[in-house]
Amino acid sequence: MSQVKVEFHQADLSKRKLLKAASLGGAALAVAPGIKLFQAAHAKPDGQPVTDKNRWGLLIDVNRCADGCNDCVDACQTENGWGSGSTDEQNSRDDQKAQWIRKVSVKDPQTRREFNMPVMCQHCENPPCQDVCPTGASFQREDGISMVDRHICIGCRYCMMACPYKARSFVHEALSDQRAHQPRGKGCVESCTLCAHRVDKGKIPACVESCQHGAMLFGDLNDPQSPISTKLASIPSRQLREDLKLNTGVRYTGI
Amino acid sequence: MNIRLRKLLARFLLFSVLSGLGLMSMNLVYAGASEVLSGSRAASLDSCVIPDTDDMRRNHMELLFHKRDQTMRQGIRTYGDNEVSLNGCIACHAAKDDQGQYIPVNEEGQFCQTCHVRVAAKLDCFDCHRTTPETN
Amino acid sequence: MESKMAMTKKTAYETVSEHGLSYWLVLAVLAAVTGIGFLAAYYMEHNGHYVTGMNNQIVWGLPHVFAIFLIIAASGALNVASVGSVFGKVEYKPLGRLSGLLAMCLLVGGLGVLVLDLGRPDRLITAMTYFNMKSIFTWNILLYTGFLGVVGLYMMTMFIKSWGQYTKAAGTAAFIWRFVLTTGTGSIFGFLVARQGYDAAILAPLFIAASLSIGTAIYMLVLMWIYKSTGRDLGDEVMTRLKRLNAVLAVATLFFVAVYHLTNLYITQHHGVQGFILVSGSVYTYLFWLGQVLLGTLVPVALFWSPSFTGRSSITAGALLIILGGFSMLYVVIIGGQAYPMDLISGMQVTSSFYDGEIARYTPSLPELLLGLGGVAFAVLATLFVVKVLPFVPQSLADQSEA
């Protein structure tokens, strides 16, 4: 059996040799003139592991996030097969249903200023979920994306206790209507994957793609030339619960 | 005491022989079975993604394990020129019913389930993974 | 002292057999409750957790209260044995064997509940093979299994004559292990930086004090019941010593509770959650003041300490109240701590479809209760059964003067 494994590895290596790094087309997306959301050159070549050269992140402009708009949440549901994107979870109560991303309405009680923002997994550099997970099912990819390895998740929910953002959901019943690229199942914990399956193919997360108000920007925080980095360098931005010093990959501006 | 001991020994021997036979017969099961269902895409192909079907039959779980960790932890979603994945297995091996709808691969008599029942190995994948190809 | 030493060395242990039908009846009831607990767990696992009161806000519910209660009670039940062999109090030595047995049984009961509530209990082997050493949970898995091993060895030094010289060493090891174990259990919550109700290192010593108090109370109840149903002599000297000890431990627990809340009241950021627990009038407020402080600490301390209460029934009542108090405390800490919303943005009001900024609702469901009770029943059942097959209980614990 180990022989088979070795063959797989060798095949990978030879494949790597054959690969030309810049095989992906340079189809960069743009929402507004001059602002590229994502540069395809940043996408890793097929067949190669993700590395810590990249650190994927989001910048969310709460001043652009429109009241009553739920596009990012809807897009995530469709893309990842939860909520309205699936026929499952009919037995679960509302407070038991999974929510990978949600619109939060915020109000300052003193100044009465109000704004909206989407909240999802913040993809911390030092994720508390990963610290507390007994089996190592809560893990972080080299490129900074936090995920749950459902194969070794035992459903203890300690990560949900530890997450300051309530980013995680527990699946309370058996499912059957999953998306092919996004496994989900009873008894495991799940959360936003920053659409890793799309990012690996050079696409941007579904929520960012769906936002019509230009409130979400996706990109590589490690590349100082990337649009998200240049933007972050020039405008003030905040982390949620920055007192915890988790160094989140998702940043907010306008808070 | 002596008789008791002998009885115990005899039982132990019988148990060992029977379980030994059982283990050997699993080999026969592996070697002999062909569960590729007519109507699935796999039925029209000469071989699986690995040409040695016997090898695939015996070791598919190792391949899947390896691929699963590569995909999930390293983001490697291809293999060679192919998009090899559990989804690929399902896309190729799922059969259709009379109405032309895909039948879940873990249903009774379907590709994955038949062998797994025969060898009494729990089919854990489909607690989370989709069991039919996505059509839209 | 010399004569006392001689007395205890001669302690005769005997399996429990001289009892009436009621003992069997109790065993049968406990077995039935254990069985129902298993059925409840199966029901929850088969359907998924949607049949429980737990949700994505209150992710740890009643089963966890029961499980952690049993686990800290286990560590506390060993207290009696430790006092005997670690601190050399000879009067406690005859009580040691039962103390160790009860500790192991309570721990197994608690772990059973914890494991059967997992989303994937079928993957228990995963928890035993994949370790993330940074997780306090992982340490606890090792601490709990190690506890069984260490206490088992400790028991053997009490049972095997030629091993007797190692009792003190083994007892000390078990004592230290026990301390670390409860520190670890308290730290499950103490290390949760995200939630204002937790994130306090004092939860570890608080859990240790509570464990000693609860464990001693359960020990007294089991001891009294075994002796009563078998007609063996249980002297007042022993019981007075134990109940006084329990009173001190209950006061110590209350001290840590007071420090925990007072320090938090000093921190403006924590006023919200403290107000929620202490004054808002929620179920947690009642459980705190009535269950934990009044009925669970002050009343039993009075029952244990005041000379006007001397009978066994006052000890029974006091021990039951200590258990109620411990349970209330864990309910307030575990569920109350989750019910209060986390700060997403400091000083702002937040609302969302995911219950941000709201007090989370939780109504325990019947299967959760049955699973928890099943764990308790199993622990007591195992204890009462083992004392029937192995000589754990001294034939007599009559007062020295009477003997």
**Dmax (CA) of chain C:** 72
Please state, in angstroms and rounded to a whole number, the distance separating the CA atoms of residues C243 and C304: 5
Q: Are the Cβ atoms of A163 and C194 closer than 8 angstroms?
A: yes
Mutate to test the interface with A, among B48, B55, B56, B130 (most CBs of A within 10 A): B130
pLDDT at residue C106 greater than cutoff 80: yes
Highest mean pLDDT among B103-112, C128-137, C371-380, C391-400 belongs to C371-380
Q: Please indicate if any CB of chain C lies within 8 Å of the CB of A126.
A: no
pLDDT of residue C23: 93
pLDDT range class, residue A233, cuts 50, 70, 90: very high
- For residue A39, the model assigns a pLDDT of 46
Yes or no, beta carbons of A47 and B78 under 8 Å apart? yes
Q: Does a structural domain hold residue C56?
A: yes
Percent pLDDT > 90 in chain A is 80
Mean pLDDT of B59-86: 85
Q: Does B46 touch chain A (CB under 8 A)?
A: no
Asked if B75 lies within 8 A of A143 by C-beta distance, the reply is yes
> With a CB-CB cutoff of 8 Å, which residues 60-119 of chain A face chain C?
91-93, 95-99, 102-110, 119
- Number of domains composing chain C: 1
Residue in chain A nearest C187 by alpha carbon = A132
CATH number, domain of C83, equals 1.20.1630.10
Of A217-231, B37-51, C189-203, highest mean pLDDT: A217-231
Residue C309: burial class (beta carbons within 10 Å; 0-12, 13-18, 19+): middle
Helix (H) or strand (E) holding B78: none
What phi and psi, each to the nearest 5 degrees, are found at residue C10? Answer: -90, 5
Residue ranges of domains in chain A: 2-253
Percentage of the residues of chain C whose pLDDT score is greater than 70:
97
Mean pLDDT of all residues belonging to chain A: 86
| B7 has pLDDT over 50 | yes
Positions of E strands within C148-202 = none
Among chain A residues, the shortest Cα distance to B72 is held by A149
Domain range for C142 is: 15-387
pLDDT category at C195 given cuts 50, 70, 90 is: confident
CA distance A14 to B94: 31
pLDDT confidence tier of residue B15, bands split at 50, 70 and 90: confident
pLDDT tens string C42-51: 999 999 999 9
pLDDT of C152 reads: 95
Q: Are C143 and A146 in contact (CB under 8 A)?
A: no
Do A107 and C348 count as a contact with CB atoms less than 8 A apart?
Answer: yes
Q: In angstroms, rounded to a whole number, what is the distance separating the alpha carbons of residues B111 and C278?
A: 60
Q: Where are the domains of chain B?
A: 1-32, 36-127
Is A3 a residue whose pLDDT tops 80? no
Phi-psi region of C61 (alpha: psi -120 to 50; beta: other; left: phi over 0): beta
- CB–CB of A190/A171 below 8 Å? yes
Q: Assign a CATH topology to domain A2-253.
A: Alpha-Beta Plaits (3.30.70)
- Residue contact A96–C192, C-beta within 8 A: no
Closest chain B CA to residue A202: B75
Q: What is the pLDDT of residue A250?
A: 98
Angle between helices C96-116 and C366-389 (to 10 degrees): 150
Whether C9 shows a pLDDT value over 70: the answer reads: no
Question: Is the pLDDT score of A13 beyond 50?
Answer: no
Contacts of C139 in chain A (CB under 8 A): none
Cα distance between residue A28 and residue A44, in whole Å: 14
Q: How far apart are CA C197 and CA C276, in angstroms?
A: 10
Interchain CB contact of B130 with A (< 8 Å) = yes
Length of chain C measured in residues: 403
**Per-residue pLDDT at C335 exceeds 80:** yes
Digit-coded pLDDT (tens) for C263-273: 989 888 888 89
Query: Are the C-beta atoms of residues C49 and A92 closer than 8 Å to each other?
Result: no
Q: What is the mean pLDDT of chain B?
A: 83
pLDDT digits (tens, 9 = 90+) for A186-206: 999 999 999 999 999 899 999
Over its C-alpha atoms, chain C yields an Rg (Å, rounded) of 22
Number of A to C CB contacts under 8 A, please give it: 171
Taken in order C121, C127, C130, C136, is the CA torsion positive or negative?
A: positive
A224 touches chain C (CB under 8 A): no
